[in-house]
């Protein structure tokens, strides 16, 4: 003998609809945060990369005009300032990239948590009873990706991977800057005019 589930009250069906709307609003909020964080990341990175490139170019432009022996000694301070500035820019780039990666990951985890909550609700007996009472509820898509898990993962790919790309780029720039600093140290220390400067 089977027992039919109790009939759902209209309030429970309305609650399910309201819960769906609230969960979707929360996902929209997190998506908006991801969008803002990605936009700020791109803006800051564009500024930092342009500054790094301009500084790198200016460094060699100044050095190419300093061919006189006495100019080497006076430019040694300037060379060090350029080298240290490039390293500082690299560290700032690494820091902003790591922070953006952490904040985007936090938003993605929040969205996944909301999606998991919705999926638990859909797997429950209460959901099936609600769909029996109001068949249109069964047509509600999942909270993210329209029911397609691959679409959810692919949709966040750019925002999730971009901070990692910039992080790797800045680590490379930092290594380049440190190599230039080491090379300048050796060249200036061995130069007859500036050798006393480094002792």
To the question of pTM greater than 0.95 for the whole model, the response is no
Task: Please give the chain's pLDDT, 199 residues, in tens.
Answer: 444 444 445 577 777 788 888 999 999 999 999 999 999 999 999 999 999 999 888 877 777 766 555 565 566 777 778 888 999 999 999 999 999 999 999 999 999 899 888 888 888 777 777 777 777 777 778 888 777 777 777 888 889 899 999 999 999 999 999 998 888 778 767 765 554 444 4
Inside any domain, residue 83:
yes
Helices (H) and strands (E) in the chain, counts: 5, 0
Distance CA 148, CA 155 (A): 11
Inside any domain, residue 198:
no
Inside any domain, residue 29:
yes
Inside any domain, residue 1:
no
Distance CA 70, CA 98 (A): 43
Nearest by Cα to 144 from 106, 105, 117: 117
Inside any domain, residue 75:
yes
pLDDT at 2: 42
> What does each C-alpha distance from 21 to 12, 118, 131 come to in angstroms?
14, 11, 16
Among all chains, which residue has been given the structure tokens 């140290």? 185
Inside any domain, residue 104:
yes
Distance CA 43, CA 26 (A): 26
Q: Which domain holds residue 78?
A: 10-192
Taking only the tens place, the pLDDT of each residue in 158-181 is: 898 999 999 999 999 999 999 988
Inside any domain, residue 3:
no
pLDDT at 126: 75
| Number of neighbouring beta carbons within 10 Å of residue 69 | 10
The 8 Å CB, 24+ separation contacts for 16-20 are: 16/121, 16/127, 16/130, 16/134, 16/137, 17/137, 19/121, 20/118, 20/140, 20/143
Inside any domain, residue 72:
yes
What is the dihedral sign for C-alpha 121, 125, 128, 134?
negative
State the total domains in the chain.
1
């Amino acid at each position: 003998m089977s027992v039919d589930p109790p009939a759902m009250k209209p309030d429970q069906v309305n609650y399910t609809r309201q819960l769906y709307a609230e969960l979707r609003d929360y996902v929209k909020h997190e998506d908006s945060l991801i969008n803002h964080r990605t936009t700020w990341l791109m803006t800051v990175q564009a500024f930092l990369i342009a500054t790094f490139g301009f500084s790198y170019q200016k460094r060699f432009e100044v050095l190419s005009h300093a061919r006189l022996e006495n100019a080497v000694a006076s430019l040694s301070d300037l060379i060090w300032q350029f080298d240290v500035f490039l390293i500082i820019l690299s560290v700032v780039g690494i820091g902003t990239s790591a922070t953006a990666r952490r904040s985007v990951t936090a938003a993605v985890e929040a969205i996944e948590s909301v999606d998991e909550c919705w999926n638990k609700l859909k797997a429950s007996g209460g959901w099936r009873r609600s769909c029996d009472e109001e068949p249109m509820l069964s047509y509600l898509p999942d909270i993210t990706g329209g029911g397609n898990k691959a679409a959810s993962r692919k949709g966040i790919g750019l925002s999730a991977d971009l901070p990692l790309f910039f992080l790797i780029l800045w680590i490379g720039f930092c290594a380049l800057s440190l190599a230039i600093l080491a090379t300048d140290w050796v060249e200036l220390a061995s130069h007859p005019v500036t050798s006393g400067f480094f002792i």
